[in-house]
Amino acid sequence: MAESTGAIYTAAGANLAIAAAKFVGASLTGSTAMLAEGAHSVVDTANQILLLVGLKRARKPADARHPFGYGREIYFYAFVVALMIFLGGGIFAIYEGAEKIMHPEPAADATILGIRLSGFWVNVAILGFAILAEGYSCLVAVRAFRAETGGRSPITAIRRSKDPSLFTILVEDVAALIGLLIALAGVVAAHLLDRPALDGWASVGIGLVLVGMAIFLMIETHGLLIGEAADPEVVAAIEAAVRAEPGVRHVNEVLTQHLGPKDILVNVSLDMADDLDAGAVETIVSRLDRALKAANPEVTRVFIEIQAQAASARVRAAA
C-alpha cells in the first residue's frame, strides 16, 4: 500500500496549504464559496489523517480476539471519511450557500499591509493557487491509482478496487478540482453580473458535489465492510489451479473474501477421488495450500473442505 500512503501524504500537504489560503481569502472578502471550499479542504485534511490511522491499524498482527487480523480497519475508517465529507463538507457548504443567497453581499475589498486590494482579484488569485496545488495532488493520486489498477477504466477500477484509501483520495481530489472550478465560476459570475447571490449558488453547487461524492464512497466502502469476494480473475485462477490437481474429481465451490486490501481468505470445497487414502488427501491439501499462496501473495489463508459433489449441492440448495 506504498502508493496509497504516498498519495495520502501529498494530498494532506496540499489540502493544508489550500485550506489556509482559502480561509484567509474568505475572511478578507466575505466569499461564502471560498468559505465552503476552505471547510472542504479542512475536512479533506482530517480525512487523510484518518486514512493514515486506518492504514496503520490495519497492519496490526492477528491475535486471539481477532484471529483474521485487523485488515478491515481501513474499510471502517474509509466509511467514517465518507460520513465526514457528507456532514462536514457537503451539508456545511449547502447551508452557507443558502445563507448567502438569502442575504447576498458583494465581495469586500481586502487591505494587506496597508495596500487596498480588490476582493474579486484576491479570491481569483487564491482559487488559482488552489487549482494548481490540487491539480498536482490529483496527478499524484491518478498515477498511484493507475499503478495499482492497470489499464482498467476509472469507474471499473474503483468498483473493483479493494483499497479504499487509494480510491478515496482520487475521488476527493477530483471532487476538489470540480469544487474549485465551481467556486471560481461563482466568484467571476457574481462580480461580472453584479449578483452576489451567485457566490452563494456556487457554494450550494460545491455542497451537492460533495454530497454526491460522499454517497458514492459510502456505497463502495459499505460493500468492503460487509465482505467482498476477490476479483473474478483471481477466483478463476484459483479454480483452475485446483481443477488441475490430480485426485480432484470436482470443484464444488470456491469462496473468497477480502479481509483487507491485500489479504484474501479462500475456502474451497472439493470432491476427491474415492480411491485416495487419508495420507494422499492430506498431501494434496497441503500442496494446494502452498500452490495457491505462491501463485497469489494476497492469498493468506486457505481452507479446503473435502465433500462429495452431491452432498455439496444439497447444502448449497438448502442455503
Q: Does the structural domain 232-318 have CATH classification 3.90.320.10?
A: no
The pLDDT of residue 313: 67
Taking 90 as the threshold, does the pLDDT of residue 318 lie above it?
A: no
In the structure, what pLDDT confidence band is assigned to residue 267 with cuts at 50, 70 and 90?
very high
Taking 70 as the threshold, does the pLDDT of residue 188 lie above it?
A: yes
The pLDDT of residue 120: 79
| Short-list 187, 214, 175, CA closest to 100 | 187
Query: Which residue has better confidence, 130 or 311?
Result: 130
In the structure, what pLDDT confidence band is assigned to residue 75 with cuts at 50, 70 and 90?
very high
CATH of the domain spanning 2-226, picked from 1.20.1510, 1.10.287, 3.30.1490, 3.40.50: 1.20.1510
The pLDDT of residue 201: 92
What predicted TM-score, i.e. pTM, was given to this entire model?
A: 0.77
- Look at 24-33, 194-203, 247-256 and tell me which has the smallest mean pLDDT: 24-33
> Which residue intervals of the chain bear CATH 1.20.1510?
2-226
Q: For residue 261, what are the contacts with CB-CB under 8 A and spacing of at least 6?
A: 1, 58, 71, 74, 162, 163, 164, 165
Cα–Cα distance measured from residue 30 to residue 199, given in angstroms and rounded to the nearest whole number: 10
> Which residue intervals of the chain bear CATH 3.30.70.1350?
232-318
Taking 60 as the threshold, does the pLDDT of residue 26 lie above it?
A: yes
The pLDDT of residue 190: 87
Name the DSSP class of 63.
Answer: -
119: left (phi over 0), alpha (psi -120 to 50) or beta: alpha
Taking 80 as the threshold, does the pLDDT of residue 311 lie above it?
A: no
Percent of the chain with pLDDT over 90: 28
